[in-house]
Amino acid sequence: PGVDAIAFTGESRTGSTIMTAAAARLAPVSFELGGKNAGIVFADADLEQAVAGTLRSSFTHSGQVCLCTERVYVERPVFDAFAEALAAGARSLSGYGPMVSAAHRDKVLGYLDKAAADGDVLAGGGIPHFSDERDGGFWVEPTVLAGLPDDHPAVREEIFGPVVHLAPFDTEEEALARANAGPYGLAATVWTGDVSRAHRVAPALDVGIAWVNTWNLRDLRTPFGGVKASGIGREGGDHSLDFFSEPMNVCVKL
């Protein structure tokens, strides 16, 4: 009864459980939840920049970041070159960390087993071997997948590991439709050399934040949060104050 509001960052199903409990006493909630973040790479993008940015957005903290990119739609004329470069980059990564637990590693490997049976593994896909004390940890190789349908669990569900799936597209409309499909809507990246396209595509994405030719670049005063199953409300600067305070009207008759 002494809790006036609930702010939570975590998994979407946990947020739903909290929201159900809070509804009984009409407590307001602010949630930053899961994501299955998309990237869109157009043929006019700086390919080297797009590959480097996607390596960072997919594999930072071994993919254990709610903002990480887990699916990338690449315009068909540059798909093969992008896929080859991203796979080579993933294989060359070093200094990455383990999964947070053995249970989480098993979850990630379960997705990889399904993906390997139904699609193509362009890089990674297993457990790295270091021949030192790290072999006692919960590691997963940086993994690049391709060839899976959009409704495959590895493409639709949040893995929260060092895994990204690549798929080609032919039109801008197709890329937007596929990027917006699914229950989540936290973040997205757009890689293009066309400023008009950037201003057209980025706001058409069903997400709380869309980056153009970069990733995870934030001014902490700007609104941050997700849509759909990725969250409720916004935080950052004055937007945080909006949730953690209540406007009050005091009217005095003189």
Rounded mean pLDDT of 60-85? Answer: 98
Residues belonging to the active site: 32, 66
The model's pTM: 0.95
Residue 118, Cβ density class (10 Å: 0-12 exposed, 13-18 middle, ≥19 buried):
middle
Q: What per-residue confidence (pLDDT) applies to 1?
A: 83
Domain spans of the chain, in order of start:
35-219
Superfamily of domain 35-219: Aldehyde Dehydrogenase; Chain A, domain 2 (3.40.309.10)
Rounded mean pLDDT of 79-90? Answer: 98
Rounded mean pLDDT of 168-187? Answer: 98
What burial letters (b/e) apply to 151-171, b meaning 16+ CB within 10 Å? Answer: ebebbbebbbbbbbbbbbbee
User: Three-state DSSP class for 122?
Assistant: strand
Q: Say yes or no to pLDDT of 28 above 90.
A: yes
Q: What is the C-alpha to C-alpha distance for residues 189 and 179, in angstroms, rounded to an integer? A: 10
Q: What per-residue confidence (pLDDT) applies to 215?
A: 98
Residue 146, Cβ density class (10 Å: 0-12 exposed, 13-18 middle, ≥19 buried):
buried
